[in-house]
Amino acid sequence: MQGLFIPQFTAFDKNNNVDYGATVEHAKWLLSNGVSGLVPFGTFGEGASLSLRERMKITEQLADISHNSALIPTIISNSLGDIWEYLDFVKDIPVEAIMVIPPSYFRPIDNQSLIDFYKAVADRTRHKIVAYNIPACSLKIDVEVAKNIPIWGMKDSSGDINSAKAYLEGGVKVLLGSDILLAKGIALGASGGICGLGNFFPKHLVKVYKLANEGKSAEAEALIQATVGVFDAILKPGFDFVKAIGCLKNAAPQIIPTKLGDMRLPCPTLRSTDAELKNLASAVKELESQAI
């Protein structure tokens, strides 16, 4: 698996129900802009807020439209039983891989137990498994664990380039989950990225991947810095994942053609001020004036 993948938003209506139509329309727009594939139910997709039945229905709908693009559903669950149920459901669906985050309710978990967990997951499916390292929300997956579990590789959302480097040096494939590190990670040998801001600027993130993959690191770094920098108008220092995504989703109508609604409760959707949204609009216009 190589390329630029999008952890797409899940759309919700005003009553907190999944808006399946809007979710699929957003997916179609992303695919039309040349991304390598979709990664539903991750952090941006609020996977932890979705029921098993909702994930199954969205998976079927996205499989119908993904065609030659990769579909990599994510499982965020504290229940091995829930994970197994989803894996059984998806066994005959043409997905590229399945991304699985470590259960995080019971802490601490020793490395051997984590290894045993991923083996139990991999034994249940013919699909490739991508392990999801996001220490801010779940258990950290040490390099020694990653090297000893039957997975394709890692999505590394640690926000630390040294983490991705350690995986790569250990012979573990990596997809970068931190947008700002995409160009640096590819220069180190990463296979690509699963980048949330691609929900807004898919063509720009694809271009970053291509430039970096061609060895044009300086150009790739400049473009990712400019793309991420657009959101300086609304994101505040110290925002955690939940606040940042809530803020971004509120700003989505400024950029994304499909109405995606708010975050699902209890996650907050942070409202930017009119002045902040005006600054965002100016930054978007400036970025989009660049030839891509």
What pLDDT, in 10s, does the model give residues 14-41?
999 999 999 999 999 999 999 999 999 9
Tell me what pLDDT residue 125 has: 97
| Tens digit of each residue's pLDDT (9 = 90 or more) over 249-291 | 999 999 999 999 999 999 999 999 999 999 999 999 999 988 7
Tell me what pLDDT residue 292 has: 77
Count of CB atoms situated within 10 Å of the CB of 275: 9
Tell me what pLDDT residue 149 has: 97
Q: What CA–CA distance (Å, rounded) separates 58 from 215?
A: 37
Residues paired with residue 74 on neighbouring β-strands, in sequence order: 99
3-state secondary structure of 38: strand
Hunting for tokens 């209890």 — which residue is that? Answer: 266
Count of CB atoms situated within 10 Å of the CB of 248: 24
| Tens digit of each residue's pLDDT (9 = 90 or more) over 200-257 | 999 999 999 999 999 999 999 999 999 999 999 999 998 998 999 999 999 999 999 9
Enumerate domains of the chain plus CATH numbers. Answer: 3-214 (3.20.20.70)
At CA 152, angle to CA 98 and CA 204, rounded to 5? 70
Asked whether residue 136 carries a pLDDT value surpassing 80, the answer given is yes
Torsion of CA 218, 221, 227, 233, to 10 degrees: -110
DSSP states of 95-164 as a string?
Answer: -SEEEEPPP-SS----HHHHHHHHHHHHTT-SSEEEEEE-TTTS----HHHHTTS--SEEEE-SS-HHHH
